[in-house]
Amino acid sequence: MFYFGADYYPEQWPQERWPEDARLMKAAGFNVVRLAEFAWSKMEPSEGKFDFNWLDRALKTLHDQGIVALLGTPTASPPPWLMTNHPDIFRLREDGLRVTYGNRCEYCPNHPTYHDFTRRIVTALAEHYADHPEVIGWQIDNEMGNRCYCPVCRSKFQDWLKVRYGTLEKMNAVWGTEFWSHIYTDWTQIPVPLATGGSPNPGLALDFRRFISDSYVAYQQMQVDLLREACPDHLITHNFMGFGYEGLNYYDLARTLDLVSWDDYPAGFWLKDRRVTEPEALALGHDTMRGLKHQNFWVMEQQAGPSGWEIVSPTPRPGELRLWAYQSIAHGADGIVFFRWRTARYGTEQYWHGLLDHHGLPGRRYEEIKQMGAELKKVGAAIQGSSVKARVAILQSYDSRFAFQIQPNNPSFQYSEHVTHVYHALFNRNIAVDVISPQADMSNYMLVIAPALHVLDEAVAARLEQYVQAGGTLVLTPRSGVKDEANAVVNLPLPGLLAEVCGITVAEYDSLSADISQSVKFIASGLKKLGTCAARVWCDILEPAGAQVLAAYTADYYAGRPAITLNQYGKGQAVYVGTFGDVSLYQALFGWLVLKLNIPPVLNAPEGIEVAERWQGDRRLLFVLNHTNAPQKVSLPNGYINLMDGKVSHGEETIPGRDLVILASPSESAG
Ligand code: GLA
Ligand code: ZN
């Protein structure tokens, strides 16, 4: 069954309304809801007094219409009585201030008292719902991840360091604590990197981010264990926040969950008089979330209307909500849950619009999603469980992202923007991409791009070397191989452990200001037609040691010096791109590279048309998505079957603006 539904808050509406909601949901083809992730106050109105009656009734009302539920464990939003009785649970922020009551996510993830209350509510819930047929699974907490700097965390951090390093000598050595006289002689002296301490030791600061990540992973695991014990057959997930979020190591957070789900908010924004939606950024989010477990995922919160707390974002144009939801499916979603069912009348999110407006009457957005519900009844089974197969991977490293948070290297450098540029160049060519962890198996990829792989340990360096040795093509960009695991700069010419594979060293580098323009010119024979591209933020001036020069800088004292190189190594090759550039640089370079490597696009299509594919065994499913406002002519492969209307495609077809087609190859053997 393809899961399709909404995030629903029955506790925020009178009970008399629930049957009407359930009826409208069923009419829209919904078969699932996520419930109760913020309902702790209703479940445990006072300490130790549990009340699940209201939730039982809501579940029953929904189930009468064939709708099942994932329940949230409500720990993202503790009740006032709990926080008033135990104010030491409030997180201490980086600036040294305690969070106060009034929002959500105000807890310290390490606090033993909070763990006790968590265990109690999760156990009560799990035992109560173990045998309820309405409940199929759980979402743990909600969008976890704020750092806490409280005394509990400080002492847990010290314990964590003891486990990691064993001895103070070892820790002092890898952090280089001779610098500024920070030699620790007792574990209890080690601080947390509060803002009041100024710029911290980079080794300490990176370890603190890892520690916080491990703290949430452990906090989640505590809940996973309780749920598995009582409800062994239920699905367990958490709602992640896509590519843009970099507070936790998402590979670790996903490891013991059954399923990754995430919250997809395209919204869009105005650029002067033009509305921009950036479908490539969403696609990158999907591909990153699919890569966390290397398996299909759900969207637990799919945008349902204009979003807003204090300010309201542009209204999704007719067709867009449906298009975005199909884009999620095209990239591997096996469940779509819209946030939220009905727009809240009260509370901070009064302007975060649901499928229904405040008044609760069905309107344009509801009808659009209802149409999708009817379509999924036809196509859902053909799609569900099919998978994405990519020959290109982008390697993303949370350690590197943490290190860049601590030291961005250049005020204009943003890891997420850089990776988005790299991704965008492939997205524009409709080339399928997996976003993978540095620990993932790379052997199936023809091309691996490791953008700004800043923190690099010996094991990953060795695996990258073997990948190239065995015939792979590796692309690196600036600031790769700069730091060891402890966030110390390597004692080697850059790119450090990868210099030999790349056949270059970085002779010097130049950190640019935002308004300086450098450029690189392709000079290798066969590449001159790629012309000149902007070089931004950073310029590595390369010294070839066997590599061929593809492009050179055009200005300043390093005019004519190598900027991009290619090195044959073993059976493969490594490209080093010495500057950050913008999308057009990667577009030019990858355009040439994918031709050379014979990596085909899913389909050639005009700009603004995204084509993605999933495979159901040998059967190829093509999703052709028109992200533009205008109709577009697309050449579709002959003989493919349109899954929505059953018609066979014959060459060119026109896809209306903000619309799509889903095609399947004619037989098991095709494609
Ligand atoms: C997040 C949360 C939701 C809601 C939406 C809209 O994704 O998970 O609870 O707050 O944002 O703000
Ligand atoms: Zn804390």
Are 75 and 139 in the same domain? yes
CA distances from 165 to 168, 213, 316, 467 (A): 7, 18, 51, 30
pLDDT digits (tens, 9 = 90+) for 346-385: 999 999 999 999 999 999 999 999 999 999 999 999 999 8
* CA 183–ligand 1 middle distance (angstroms): 43
Helix ranges (H only) for 600-641 are: none
Cβ contact 400:455 at 8 Å: yes
Banded model confidence at residue 279, pLDDT cuts 50, 70, 90: very high
Give me the pLDDT at residue 497, please: 98
Closest-lying ligand 1 atom to the alpha carbon of residue 309: 12
* CATH code of the domain in which 632 resides: 2.60.40.1180
Where among 383, 406, 424 does a domain terminate? 383
Evaluate if residue 85 carries a pLDDT over 80.
yes
If we measure between CA atoms, which residue out of 651, 275, 607 comes closest to residue 430? 607
Q: What's the structural domain count of the chain?
A: 3
If we measure between CA atoms, which residue out of 613, 589, 588 comes closest to residue 601? 613
Are 580 and 657 in the same domain? no
Q: Tell me, what DSSP letter sits at residue 558?
A: G
* CA 32–ligand 1 middle distance (angstroms): 18
Residue 537 domain flag: yes
Q: C-alpha angle with apex 358: 356 to 360, nearest 5 degrees? A: 50
Are 364 and 442 in the same domain? no
H or E element: which one contains 240?
A: strand 235-240
Where among 362, 383, 404 does a domain terminate? 383
Give me the pLDDT at residue 668, please: 54
Question: Mean pLDDT, to the nearest integer, of 190-211?
Answer: 98
Q: What is the pTM of this model?
A: 0.97
Residue 189 domain flag: no
**Tokens 């600061």 identify what position?**
205
Residue 216 domain flag: yes
Give me the pLDDT at residue 671, please: 42
Residues framing ligand 1 (Cβ under 6 A)? 142-143, 239, 263, 301, 339, 349, 352
Are 377 and 450 in the same domain? no
Among the residue ranges 93-97, 335-339, 355-359, 604-608, the one predicted with the least confidence is: 604-608
Residue 428 domain flag: yes
* CATH code of the domain in which 285 resides: 3.20.20.80
Are 233 and 251 in the same domain? yes
Taking the CA of 212 as reference, the closest ligand is 2
Closest-lying ligand 1 atom to the alpha carbon of residue 37: 9
Most informative mutation of 349, 350, 351, 353 for ligand 1 (most atoms within 8 A of CB): 349
Residue 266 domain flag: yes
- Classify residue 46 by burial, with Cβ atoms within 10 Å: 0-12, 13-18, 19+: exposed
Are 356 and 476 in the same domain? no
* CA 111–ligand 2 middle distance (angstroms): 6
* CA 142–ligand 1 middle distance (angstroms): 8
Are 568 and 629 in the same domain? no
Give me the pLDDT at residue 286, please: 98
Q: In what order do the strands lie in the sheet with 660-664?
A: 609-616, 619-626, 660-664, 641-642
* Averaged confidence pLDDT in the chain: 97
Cα–Cα distance for residue pair 215/209, rounded to 1 Å: 10
Where among 383, 402, 431 does a domain terminate? 383
Are 511 and 444 in the same domain? yes
Question: Mean pLDDT, to the nearest integer, of 445-463?
Answer: 98
CA distances from 287 to 253, 328, 464 (A): 17, 9, 21
Residue 182 domain flag: no
Q: What is the dihedral of CA 594, 595, 596, 602, to 10 degrees?
A: 50
Instruction: Please list the active-site residues.
Output: 143, 301
* CATH code of the domain in which 454 resides: 3.40.50.880
Q: At what angle do helices 202-230 and 398-406 cross, to 10 degrees?
A: 140
pLDDT digits (tens, 9 = 90+) for 25-55: 999 999 999 999 999 999 999 999 999 999 9
Evaluate if residue 583 carries a pLDDT over 50.
yes
Evaluate if residue 669 carries a pLDDT over 60.
no
Are 277 and 378 in the same domain? yes
Evaluate if residue 650 carries a pLDDT over 90.
no
Are 440 and 582 in the same domain? yes
Give me the pLDDT at residue 670, please: 42
Give me the pLDDT at residue 129, please: 98
Taking the CA of 9 as reference, the closest ligand is 1
Q: Which two tokens stand for residue 327?
A: 């884009």
Are 589 and 473 in the same domain? yes
Residue 586 domain flag: yes
DSSP string, 467-478: HHHTT-EEEE-T
* Percentage of the chain modeled with pLDDT above 90: 96
Residue 460: HSE in the Cβ half-sphere, 13 Å Cα cutoff: 22
Evaluate if residue 470 carries a pLDDT over 90.
yes
Domain enclosing residue 649, as ranges: 609-664
Closest-lying ligand 1 atom to the alpha carbon of residue 263: 7
DSSP string, 220-233: HHHHHHHHHHH-TT
pLDDT digits (tens, 9 = 90+) for 96-115: 999 999 999 999 999 999 99
Residue 636 domain flag: yes
Taking the CA of 150 as reference, the closest ligand is 2
Are 528 and 632 in the same domain? no
Residues in the chain: 671
Q: Tell me, what DSSP letter sits at residue 381?
A: H
Closest-lying ligand 1 atom to the alpha carbon of residue 241: 7
